Structure 1
Amino acid sequence: MINFHSFSGVVTGIHDFLITPDDQTGCYQLLSVQDGANSIVNFVVSPSTYIVERDRISVGDWITGYYDANAPVPLIYPPQYRALVIVRESPVRNVKVDAFDSHLVSQDKSLKLHLAPCTKRSLTNGLAFTKSPANRDLVVIYGPSTKSIPAQTTPFEVIVLCL
């Protein structure tokens, strides 16, 4: 399971990112993100980065980028992380990215899932996921939740990250 950490802020720049000096593919981009405390993080967005609901990301959007806190990173400023998941924040949905246990409780113990027959289950490529999402890294899209600890919800969609 991945140790997901996140950083949220406003996209201040989107630039092509060269993975080698002669890279001409244009397949990688660098998103510069600044939070309310003026901290800056750069996210490397690759073809394997999952962007929730395939939202288009633009300068000025408020996003949250998720990365593996155990992955090696270059010792530079601003910090640069390989984005695993990008979420353009929206007032009409909640998104949780985390590892979930056998009881569908997130690793940070803040959310418990109750799956319904109408809960869409898919892979990042859009294909249906037919197995149990327990004990996996998930992107959960949901609406209202309880105020209990952990909060409980019946999600709209569960996306399984096969990283």
Structure 2
Amino acid sequence: MVKYQPFSGTVTMINDFAITASGENEGCYKLMSVIDGSGRQVNFVVEPKTYFVDQAMVGVGDRVTGYHDADAPVPLIYPPQYRALVMVKETPGQNVKVDFFNSQLISSDGMLKLNFSSGTQLLLENGQRFTKNPANRNLIVVYGPSTFSIPAQTTPYRIIVLC
């Protein structure tokens, strides 16, 4: 099970990132620098398989949240450099949470509970419909308003199952 760790901020740089000396994957990998409101910087390695919510095009100056595996080994360099698993470009009126949701559809941090409606889209990463129960899985949840309770409850617009 992947433990998704978010980091939010403003994109300050996007450059090509070479992973091999041969250049066979030239242009396929990007290094994206993100700085949060307190000045902390993180570099995300964006791979061809990094999932971008809504296939959003991200540029310098955009507010984003990048999710990486909190348990994955990382090089001991500054600023920290993480492999981006999921990237979210902030959109007004839209919230996104990437986490493991248990059998009651409560996130692993206990902060969000999902309620379904007939309008909730349940999809795979490739855009196809997911037809099983999304409980006990890693999910990307796209939602709007939520309650002020703990856990907050919401009826998601869309759920992407990370198989």
**Shift of residue 78, structure 1, vs aligned partner:** 0.7
Supply the distance in 2 between the matched residues of 1:156 and 1:106 (Cα, whole angstroms): 16
1:14 Cα shift?
0.4
In 1, the alpha carbon distance for the partners of 2:85 and 2:125 equals 11
Q: Deviations over 1:28-77 (max 9, x none)?
A: 11100011111110001111111000110000000000000000111111
Q: Matches of 2:130 and 2:161 in 1, distance apart?
A: 8
Number of positions where the alignment pairs a residue of Structure 1 with one of Structure 2: 162
- 1:16 corresponds in structure 2 to 16
**C-alpha distance in 2 between matches for 1:22 and 1:59:** 28
Q: Gaps (5+ residues) in structure 2?
A: none
Tell me if the contact between 1:18 and 1:24 (Cα under 8 Å) persists in the aligned partners: no
The alignment yields a C-alpha RMSD, in angstroms, of 0.8
- Is 2:149 the partner of 1:148? yes
Give the corresponding residue for 1:99: 100
Cα deviations by residue, 1:92-124 (Å, 9 ceiling, x for unpaired)? 201111000011000000000011121101111
**What is the identity percentage for the equivalent residue pairs of Structure 1 and Structure 2?**
60
Cα displacement (A) at 1:23:
2.2
Scaled by the length of structure 1, what TM-score is found? 0.97
- Is the contact made by 1:139 and 1:158 (CA closer than 8 Å) also made in structure 2? yes
How far off its partner does 1:147 sit? 0.5
TM-score scaled by structure 2? 0.97
